[in-house]
Amino acid sequence: MLFFERQEAVRRRSRCLVLAFVLAVLAVVLAVNAVAWVLFVALPGQPQATLPVAVGTTAVILLLMAGASLYRIIGLRRGGAAVAQAMGGTPVPPDTTDPAHRRLRNVVEEMAIAAGTSVPLVFVLEDEARINAFAAGHSPADAAVAVTRGALDRLNRAELQAVIAHEFGHIVHGDIRLNLRLLGALFGIVVLGLVGRHLLVAGGRRGRNALPLLLLALALVVVGAIGLSAARLIKAGLSRQREFLADAASVQFTRDPDALVGAFLKIAGVPGGRRMAAIEAEEISHMLFDDGAGLSGWWATHPPLLARIQALRPGFKPVRLDDAYARQTMTAPSGLDEDRAQALAAVAPLPAAEARVALSPAALVASIGQCQTADHARAQAVLAALPEVVERAARDREHALPLLYGLLLSTSAPVRQRQRSELVARFDATQLEQAFDFSDRLAGLHPSLRLPLAELALASLKRRPRAELQQIADVVFALSHADSRVCLFEYALAQLLHQQIEASIDPATTWRRPQLKLVDCEAEVVAVLAAMAQAGHESTADAQRAFMAGLQRVLPNSIARYVPPAAGLAALDEAWPRLDALLPKAKLLVLEGLTAAASHDGRLRVAEAELLRLVARLLQAPLPAALTTA
């Protein structure tokens, strides 16, 4: 399934969620009205005013449910971190020295680089002995990945990688946003049961005079059970098929179905079943890698383990799963010990900076959001090639900021001087010199390393206070607009970082519904194509030919001519949001046109491919790491 088709499928499920939610609310309201009718109308001695009772009861219940859902949704505005912390997650800092935590961060960072997405926040549920994981967030920019202590201890690196790849399947294709919406909406349905339980406790303390209160509490508990059943059915209906798709994405990425099967078998072999200890596990059961609430049948949010294994290995015998259950009394496996016993493959080097590769527009479009084994190998090569000094700085909370600014400083002396003026007004001399020192160190950096290094540095900064993040976003914007001669790569990198920081500040506003057609954005398409053509060609004639090659892909009937941005790249600021709001087919055509402009001679340099990756990321289209081997 193509990337934008999968996202559209998620949007359709969102509409299904609205319908299912309305039906569930209707069922709960009818149940509450039935109870109210018995208590206030049908019993002897009660007034027979049926309509006022029904109206009043319905209004109170709707207000309570709406208020509960709104409260939950507001609490989730902080994105994936809010869910991980509510589950008792402990953040794993980028500079951790704990071996198990370091292995986890390495796997997550490799996945992010390979998939062409932001590096998510990483959490560990230290009190959970079961093997499980989840991803949460409104978008990749504010996503969080959490794994249990059981997963860290019991899974070897290949199995852990398969589990994390499964979660990245949810992140890349937009499932995590639907999951958060589901979490917020369904809280309003189950809240009556929670109120009933609290009233039962309160009524038990009041003694003999509490009979009416206890009857009301018992009724709410019964009605709450109806709401809980409806919530479970909605989650199960929207979740099961997505788990099969995420399993398939994991195997597509790792090309190692046995690793994912191995994780499933270890889950089956964990003593005590699959129910997690946290009481919130059922609420987020639709987000988990494996069922964590102990539900089965119609209510199960995940397919049975045997069905998931046989989807990967059709010849798998059920007796092997029985063996896994039988091994529950044996000593638990150690993932780190298994890693030490296995020889790790050597990391392949990066392609030469001036290497040229063929890349067709159709191949690029087909690769959006699609990870392969080569992408994982490229991600490993990227991390291995990072100079030790800058890699340590990217993982350090204090040094990550001057490193990030150093990545945005131009190699052009006049532009660099203007950028210095922007930084002087905001930072002390020490931080200023650190930024320029990092810029000098990065002067000869391989072009494939600049974007991943920026992502690592940004991951170290995401948990800073809102005011600091806003200041960082402002400085990033100022550096990219300090001079009209800033190159397109530096400008696009700054735009992407600014976009991601803004998403970290207010995660709930990041999702744009596609609504524009190409005819609505002709001026923006022409401007971006001209900038791409100019960036990749020194001569005006070559740039013009590249521009026309791209324009023919996107707008074949357009009479536009090649005109480089006269006022500098700042003229493109208004183009990105509108292009991001294009309908999927229109956005694909724009990406094909950009590819045609960048590779009109049939081949791309590594640096040009990285620029293309950056521009595609600005349009919410993640390109995998091994693009330059296409």
DSSP state of 353: T
DSSP state of 40: I
167 labelled catalytic: yes
CB 299 within 8 A of CB 232: yes
DSSP H or E run through 145: strand 144-148
For residue 103 the two structure tokens come to 């292995």
CB atoms within 10 A of CB 250: 26
Phi, psi of 152 (to 5 degrees): -65, -40
By C-alpha distance, which of 539, 543, 522, 518 is closest to 531?
Answer: 543
Distance from C-alpha of 404 to C-alpha of 394, rounded to nearest angstrom: 8
Q: Give residue 104's identity as a one-letter amino acid code.
A: L
Distance from C-alpha of 148 to C-alpha of 151, rounded to nearest angstrom: 5
Pick the catalytic residue: 109, 167, 455, 490?
Answer: 167
Distance from C-alpha of 419 to C-alpha of 308, rounded to nearest angstrom: 54
For residue 89 the two structure tokens come to 């997650």
Phi, psi of 121 (to 5 degrees): -65, 150
Q: How many CA atoms lie within 13 A of 551 on its CB side?
A: 23
Q: How far is CA 167 from the centre of its chain?
A: 9
Distance from C-alpha of 479 to C-alpha of 419, rounded to nearest angstrom: 6
Q: Give residue 519's identity as a one-letter amino acid code.
A: V
CB 95 within 8 A of CB 461: no
Q: How far is CA 18 from CA 21, 219, 502, in A?
A: 5, 26, 28
Positions marked catalytic: 167
